[in-house]
């Protein structure tokens, strides 16, 4: 929704909107993946940029606002995005960078209040009621957060300040990009009643169409419809919830530190493939990415699963639970290969593969067991050295040799199904971490 389509709370003669009792903040990074990717490409600022795989079957992870003006949106097929905005520059995602910036942003939130509820890498709710005496009114806290994130991370964020989570999230969305909207408690109803019904949290396209068929187009229309009518049309629970939200009633509190239940990555191939060597190579890449994300989040998991999608879109998953928690790339890769090889596929055409680490717990709460044959300074230390190098020099600074693109005409080295030897042992044909 354009910011011109609603009336934001205005400043009074005495100053900014009254934020008394408005202790809920929703902070959302602006075009996070795109903004983070442009930190090292300042020459592309102000231009249409799409973040995603270069292949035509990839999907858009994010896009700059310049690209969004052409209709490009997250989760859109890349082929369609390129047709809508052929002049856009496509940048491959840098997941290590995103995780590092997200961790730093969440640390900034934690310095303000312990009541932080992350919703994803790039947004969170904060309850700053306990920080007001120490840091000042909610509006001032929001402004300081925006300044700190911009100064320290080089990206912008938008903030909604309100008395409830629902209204704070609405406000942050309407403040984008790089804005701040405060909704005084006394103006909550008038603020939300001017909005279209599609702005309500939980109203998707189908529900919005249903409400339109009933003649309900604004939140005010919804609020003044008897709750019994909404319940007959949408169901008891949904009808009651929408009626409550239409009057600004949202009793939910900020739930601190909601942890991810799993971490993973998948890849859709540019063309269906049936070569197990190439599948093994992709499993290595995905296992490395998954493990790096787990270590960045300070998590470890016991269950490793793979996903395989065939050319007819049939999808199967397989999982194995280990005897101990892990965040080691090599161990996740070994299990993923084992699960894939057990499928005994005979030249099946494969469209997508994925690797996921599940059963997550904080790594500090689950000491990770070393393999009996692992040297004192083994793969875990090697992984952390790779993390440090990637943080300093960028993703891909160190990676297995089989994942290094071949600059010549020959194909990239094939990945042997066998695992690489542990550090300190004689390497075979398998990939070893190599600086690039």
Is residue 307 within 8 A of residue 317, CB to CB? The reply is yes
Between helix 379-393 and helix 95-112 the angle, nearest 10°, is: 90
Q: Is 275 part of any known ligand binding site?
A: no
Tokens of 313: 């879109």
Element (H, E) at 388: helix 379-393
Q: Is 341 part of any known ligand binding site?
A: no
User: How distant, in Å, are the alpha carbons of 105, 295, 301 from that of 298?
Assistant: 15, 5, 11
Q: Catalytic annotation on 209?
A: no
Say how far apart CA 365 and CA 213 lie, in whole Å. 53
- Judged by phi (left if over 0) then psi (alpha if -120 to 50, else beta), residue 344 lies in left
The residue written with tokens 């409400």 in the block is 211
Instruction: Supply the Cα-derived Rg of the chain in whole angstroms.
Output: 24
Between helix 227-234 and helix 205-213 the angle, nearest 10°, is: 120
| 98 closest CA partner among 435, 390, 363, 379 | 390
The DSSP code for 61 is: E
Phi, psi of 182 (to 5 degrees): -105, 130
Q: Which of these is catalytic: 123, 187, 267, 331? A: 123
The DSSP code for 15 is: B
3-class SS letters over 31-43? CHHHHHHHHHCHH
User: How distant, in Å, are the alpha carbons of 67, 117, 213, 360 from that of 363?
Assistant: 39, 20, 51, 8
Q: How many other β-carbons are positioned within 10 Å of the β-carbon of residue 362?
A: 13
Catalytic residues: 123
Residue set of the binding site: 28, 122
Binding region for Mg(2+): 28, 122
């Amino acid at each position: 929704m354009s910011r011109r389509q609603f009336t934001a709370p205005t400043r009074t003669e005495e100053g900014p909107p009254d934020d008394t009792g408005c202790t809920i903040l929703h902070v959302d990074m602006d075009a996070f993946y795109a903004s983070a990717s442009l930190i090292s490409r300042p020459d592309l600022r102000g231009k249409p940029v799409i973040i995603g795989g270069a292949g035509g079957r990839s999907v858009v992870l994010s896009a700059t606002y310049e690209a969004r003006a052409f209709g490009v949106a997250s989760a859109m097929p890349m082929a369609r995005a390129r047709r809508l905005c052929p002049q856009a520059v496509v940048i491959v995602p840098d997941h290590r960078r995103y995780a590092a910036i997200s961790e730093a942003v969440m640390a900034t939130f934690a310095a303000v209040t312990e009541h932080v509820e992350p919703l994803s890498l790039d947004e969170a709710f904060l309850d700053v009621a306990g920080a007001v005496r120490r840091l000042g009114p909610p509006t001032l806290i929001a402004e300081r957060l925006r300044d700190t994130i911009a100064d320290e991370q080089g990206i912008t964020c938008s903030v909604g300040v309100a008395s409830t989570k629902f209204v704070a999230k609405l406000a942050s969305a309407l403040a984008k990009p790089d804005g701040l909207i405060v909704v005084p408690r006394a103006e909550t109803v008038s603020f939300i009643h001017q909005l279209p019904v599609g702005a309500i949290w939980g109203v998707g396209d189908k529900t919005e169409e249903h409400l339109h068929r009933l003649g309900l187009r604004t939140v005010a229309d919804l609020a003044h419809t008897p709750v019994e009518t909404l319940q007959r049309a949408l169901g008891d629970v949904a009808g009651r919830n929408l009626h409550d939200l239409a009057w600004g009633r949202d009793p939910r509190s900020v739930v601190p530190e909601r942890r991810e239940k799993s971490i993973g990555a998948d890849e859709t191939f540019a063309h269906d493939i049936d070569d197990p060597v190439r599948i093994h190579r992709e499993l290595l890449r995905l296992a490395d990415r998954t493990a790096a994300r787990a270590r960045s989040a300070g998590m470890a998991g016991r269950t490793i699963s793979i996903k395989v999608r065939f050319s007819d879109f049939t999808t199967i998953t397989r999982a194995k639970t280990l005897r101990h928690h892990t965040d080691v790339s090599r161990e996740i890769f070994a299990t993923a290969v084992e699960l894939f090889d057990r499928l005994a596929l005979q030249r099946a055409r494969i469209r997508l593969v994925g690797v996921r680490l599940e059963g997550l717990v904080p790594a500090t709460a689950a000491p990770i067991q070393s393999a009996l044959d692992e040297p004192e300074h083994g793969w875990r230390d090697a992984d952390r050295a790779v993390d440090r190098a990637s943080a300093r020099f960028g993703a891909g600074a160190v990676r297995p040799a089989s994942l290094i693109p071949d600059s010549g005409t020959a194909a990239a080295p094939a990945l042997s199904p066998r695992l690489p030897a542990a550090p300190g042992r004689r390497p075979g044909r398998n990939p070893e971490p190599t600086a690039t």
